[in-house]
Structure 1
Amino acid sequence: MDGIELEILWSNVISIVSEQARALQRVAFSPVVREAGDLANALFDKRARMVAQAVTGTPGHINSLGAAARNLLKAIPPETLKPGDVLITNDPWMSAGHFFDITVLTPIFRSGEIIGYCGSTIHHTDIGGYGVGSGARDIHEEGLWIPVLKLYEAGKPNETLHAVMRQNVRTPDALFGDLGAQVASGNIAAERLNAMCDRYGLADIEELADEIITRSETATREAISKLPSGTYTGESRFDVPSGEIITLRTAVTIDAEAGDITIDFAGSSGPSPIGINVVPAYTHAYATFAVRSTLNPELPNNYGSLSPIRVTAPDECIVNAKYPVPVNARHVVGMYVPFPILKALAHVTPKNVVAEGSGAVWTIQIQGRDRAGQPFTSSMFNYSGGMGARATKDGLSAICYPTGVAAVPTEVLEAAFPIEFTCKELELGSGGPGKYRGGDGQRIGYRMRTGSPWLLNAIPSRLTEGPEGLFGGGSGTPGHFAINGKAVSEARKIEMQPEDEVLMITPGGGGYGRAG
């Protein structure tokens, strides 16, 4: 396929997945999808290889979705699918790592044959069970577990599955509103792909997919081949709500001749009794993000560019969760996965890495009844700290790195729920010193306008261990979480009173290089 033809078709493919994502965000009920972009959309060929992703989305969702399509089609073989079928699961080991993230996969038919699939994964407001927090003791306390099933069969809803789901969640209208957005966005992608095939006289996208995936893999291997072969190590330590200190240790082995990278998490902390354990697909998602963003971030993110990167972890490891450990707050550890990898890569490509940042976003969920007695359950909303400094620039302040989600505006939250914010501002000077300073965290205060007790799920981290600087840069300031002025570190859901006020100060990022 010549370069001009490929570029034209590639721009069409990117337009299709980006329109799919925009449609999903416009229609979604949940603010965390609509406002924050906590989602992923991707197009797959008929062999379930991810060809392209939308420009909106998080690494944890996008790269997990790349594996999810293959997992769903192992459970329900392609030859059994019919036009109008839509597959669904939130199985943590098949998709994005916890029950809140539901994956929907739509087969795309042309002339009676499947030519590809379009998929989406989004964070849903509620899935029953414990809620967003980390306090469940095993996975069965965490919510409704949806195996791989057909959400729609030949265009008709699976009434049994719909009834089970509706009965097991607190806010069924929000759940089905967001599922409807996922299904609608998949239908749009299917229509647009068929229109592209009509426009350019294509019977399917196999030749195009082969070209894109082969070129992406070749370019990734070429980028790896420019690095010196060897094994390089990195380690990150951080505290979590239970007070545990978690260690993530990596050995990154570069085989320049083969163009391969292997990342091994041997020596990392073992499983946790609270819901912060990470399934392999989510670990792989953030590990590959760290490598891809360091080597050549301009390359398409797809099956080909991810293939040269292999991730391994011991069985008894916090980033290799085994049934039935709890996983609902898996992002608390999962979003730290890039940092030890970046420290290892700093030995071979120091100008392309960043110092440690605040890590996991601080996730908040509120539940209760408003003054009219109506129940509410918020989707999680996130607050970020400072990003680590870069080789030539200061770190960004109050930025969700590495996840990439946006903050839901306070005005939207105050309009949707009985919450009142008392402050939201940068915590100036919290970034670590250095030749380039780490980004600053932020200060957020809020209370509820319920008139009755309410429940708080809060998952702060780095309350005692600030992000480390790199190459002599100083550490960022740890975070602070307080209720009515008293410091709190809890892994459980907390019952709050109407007059209680919460204060959160997120950590600053580490500095890069010695100051002066």
Structure 2
Amino acid sequence: MSSATRTFDPVELEILWQSLISTVNEQARALQRAAFSPIVREAGDLANAVFDRRGRMVAQAVTGTPGHINSLALGAAAMLEEYPVDSLVPGDVLITNDPYKTAGQLLDVTVLVPAWRTPAAGSKPRLIALFGSTIHHTDVGGYGIGAGGRDCFEEGLWIPICKLMAGDGSGGSERNGDVWKFILSNVRQPDHMAGDLHAQMASGEVGAQRLATLCDTHGLDDIEDLADEIIERSEAATRATIRELDAGTHDASAVLDLADGSTVDIVCSMTVDPDAGEIIVDYEGSSDASPWGINVVRNYTHAYTTFTVRSVLNPDIPNNHGSLAPIRMRAPEGSVVHAVPPQPGTARHVVGMFLPNALLKALAQVKPDGAMAEGAGAVWTMQINGHHEDGSPFITAMFTYAGGVGARASKPGLDACSYPTGVSAVPIEVVEASAPVRFLRKALRPGSGGAGAQPGGLGQVIEFEVDTARPWQLNAVTSRLTEPPQGIFGGEPGASGSFQVNGEPVTTQTRITLQPGDSVRLELPGGGGYGEPGVPGDGEDRGLLATR
């Protein structure tokens, strides 16, 4: 590697940046094509990113969820603390699902694939980058999907930071046999687990190959100078955006209700410091950790905090180590937004995806035209398992449904859209093909969006049953069944949700056993309205859309 620092003119930098984005996007496409799990393949429940030697996220794929991507940004650094880059050799691959160091639940497995480059003939390969991926696996043993686990040990297999593959000393790679045995012996679908792990490794290799081509094309020995330039520019642009705001502290809160009637208070205080070019979000006063598996680890809280702030202030700035640095977050240990071992968190998305509802209220005091009314919050997740008539088992991968999004200053809320997570719904045909599930209805929910100058988005209605002669089990994670999504600036609330079996409300957070012929009905919440009904909002005249 040359000791001289390379500089880039604006045109060259833009070309290299777009090439880097194309590289991680191809990594993500390779992962989706190779994945076994429908929630990855069909819904995009994943994250892909490239990191420099210092463990700093340089670029992320467009496909993916904020919770995964921004947690991966911190998780990769934790993995490199355990295995510093200078200790790695060609062929090594790192793995973990440590929920407190990565994305907050054991089902999310992170794999880190180093990229190597030999600058000159006869020289040793040098690690120039790492390609990381986090995906939602079908199963990791234990309780499974849902909020019923009472500690992290009940929830499933914990994979510490370790080598999934080990270099053989000659540039090749060998399985870390004991690690593979432990993993595959503790999951219900070992073929799915193995297939998805291979998909993660293969996608990392695709990224490494494309990065080598980028370096060859542009005469780079490594990406250190390029990473510095991208990260420094992103940080400077983010700080400049914050410096345009008035100094001050803005308080907000939101209440999340759960199926069992309990509630979670999210309290945030957002301080704008233009002199430092920083925003500090403090969640002091939020609820203590729950006995149910809805607790959020610090990484995941940080992920949705930074996503929300950046999406309002300047979403066009690249998402990387630099643009995340000016947004600082505090959360009291042992609270529902900063879980510590062994507090459970398999269903941490219920709270994590709800966080923007509180933070957006604080941001509305700073930038009203960039704010939103409350939306449905977290997607509702389902997993079904049971036995066919011949006794053979079946289990679905997790499938999700979204409610309405809160209205914006100049646009109505989106209907049945997964905000803030961004995952797609697994098509009902895919679910029906994987298990004897029969969908009876899937439609928008008229009247569920809150009225306003801009109306909230509509929720949806789903009905299904399972075609089996034996009892079957449903793991469902729902929310907002009594507390509706609130409007903003005079907008009215959207409709709350409903979760019923045979017409009767379900009031439990745990797995339930159902009988042949039982029917499940889901009515997802609608988004809140923006502005007073009948008062024209900014932008186009919405006409009949003013009420939904």
Q: Does the pair score TM above 0.5?
A: yes
Which residue of the partner structure matches residue 136 of structure 2?
A: 123
Q: Does 1:432 pair with 2:450?
A: yes
Which residue of the partner structure matches residue 127 of structure 2?
A: 114
- Secondary structure of the 2:252 match is strand
Which residue of the partner structure matches residue 302 of structure 1?
A: 320
Q: CA separation in 2, counterparts of 1:456 and 1:467?
A: 26
Q: CA separation in 2, counterparts of 1:97 and 1:238?
A: 19
Uncovered stretches (5+) of structure 2, i.e. residues with no partner: 1-7, 119-124, 168-172, 535-548
Show the 5 A alignment for 1:48-447: 48-111=55-118, 112-154=125-167, 155-447=173-465
Worse-matched range after superposition: 438-447 or 235-244: 235-244
Q: CA deviation at 1:338?
A: 1.1
Show the 5 A alignment for 1:459-470: 459-470=477-488
Amino acid at match of 1:73: L
Amino acid at match of 2:411: K
- Secondary structure of the 2:178 match is helix
Q: CA separation in 1, counterparts of 2:285 and 2:318?
A: 32
Contact 2:289 2:334 (C-alpha < 8 Å) held by counterparts:
yes
CA deviation profile, 1:232-286 (whole Å, cap 9, x unmatched): 0111111013321111010000001111000000111111010000000000000
Q: CA deviation at 1:513?
A: 0.3
* Rg larger for: 2
CA deviation profile, 1:193-216 (whole Å, cap 9, x unmatched): 111111111100011000100000
Worse-matched range after superposition: 360-369 or 278-287: 360-369
Which residue of the partner structure matches residue 121 of structure 2?
A: none
Q: CA separation in 1, counterparts of 2:345 and 2:271?
A: 28
- Structure 1 residues 113 and 167 mapped into 2: Cα distance closer, same or farther (>3 Å)? same
Q: Does 1:471 pair with 2:489?
A: yes
CA deviation profile, 1:111-142 (whole Å, cap 9, x unmatched): 11111100000000000000111011111100
Amino acid at match of 1:358: A
Contact 2:374 2:485 (C-alpha < 8 Å) held by counterparts:
yes
Q: CA separation in 1, counterparts of 2:476 and 2:293?
A: 13
Which residue of 41, 46, 52 corresponds with 1:39?
A: 46
Q: CA separation in 2, counterparts of 1:287 and 1:242?
A: 27
Q: CA deviation at 1:374?
A: 2.4
Q: CA deviation at 1:80?
A: 1.6
Q: CA separation in 2, counterparts of 1:94 and 1:508?
A: 34
Q: CA separation in 1, counterparts of 2:18 and 2:354?
A: 33
Q: CA separation in 2, counterparts of 1:142 and 1:222?
A: 43
- Runs of 4+ aligned structure 1 residues displaced above 3 Å come to none
Q: CA deviation at 1:303?
A: 0.2
Worse-matched range after superposition: 83-92 or 489-498: 489-498
Contact 1:89 1:104 (C-alpha < 8 Å) held by counterparts:
yes
Which residue of the partner structure matches residue 29 of structure 1?
A: 36
Q: CA separation in 1, counterparts of 2:529 and 2:348?
A: 27
Uncovered stretches (5+) of structure 1, i.e. residues with no partner: none
Amino acid at match of 1:52: A
Amino acid at match of 1:482: Q
Q: CA deviation at 1:61?
A: 0.2
CA deviation profile, 1:345-398 (whole Å, cap 9, x unmatched): 101100001110000100101111223432222221100000000001110010
Q: CA separation in 2, counterparts of 1:370 and 1:3?
A: 61
Q: CA separation in 1, counterparts of 2:328 and 2:62?
A: 24
Q: CA separation in 1, counterparts of 2:47 and 2:226?
A: 22
Worse-matched range after superposition: 16-25 or 366-375: 366-375
Q: CA deviation at 1:479?
A: 0.2
Contact 1:332 1:360 (C-alpha < 8 Å) held by counterparts:
yes
- TM-score, normalised to structure 1, is 0.99
State the aligned residue count.
Answer: 516
Which residue of the partner structure matches residue 544 of structure 2?
A: none
Contact 1:171 1:377 (C-alpha < 8 Å) held by counterparts:
no
Contact 2:100 2:341 (C-alpha < 8 Å) held by counterparts:
no
- Secondary structure of the 2:464 match is strand
Contact 1:88 1:149 (C-alpha < 8 Å) held by counterparts:
yes
Which residue of the partner structure matches residue 540 of structure 2?
A: none
- Secondary structure of the 2:11 match is helix
Q: CA separation in 2, counterparts of 1:371 and 1:417?
A: 12
Q: CA deviation at 1:450?
A: 2.2
Amino acid at match of 2:290: S
Q: CA separation in 1, counterparts of 2:354 and 2:285?
A: 15
State the identity %: 56
Amino acid at match of 2:163: K
Q: CA separation in 2, counterparts of 1:374 and 1:94?
A: 37
- Secondary structure of the 1:288 match is helix
Q: CA separation in 1, counterparts of 2:161 and 2:446?
A: 47
Contact 1:170 1:377 (C-alpha < 8 Å) held by counterparts:
no
Contact 1:125 1:377 (C-alpha < 8 Å) held by counterparts:
no
Amino acid at match of 2:155: E
Which residue of 494, 499, 509 corresponds with 2:517?
A: 499
Contact 1:418 1:448 (C-alpha < 8 Å) held by counterparts:
yes
Q: CA deviation at 1:412?
A: 1.1
- Secondary structure of the 1:175 match is helix
Amino acid at match of 1:454: W
CA RMSD of aligned residues (A): 0.8
Amino acid at match of 2:56: R
Q: CA separation in 1, counterparts of 2:363 and 2:22?
A: 33
Which residue of the partner structure matches residue 530 of structure 2?
A: 512
Amino acid at match of 1:180: H
Q: CA separation in 2, counterparts of 1:121 and 1:372?
A: 36
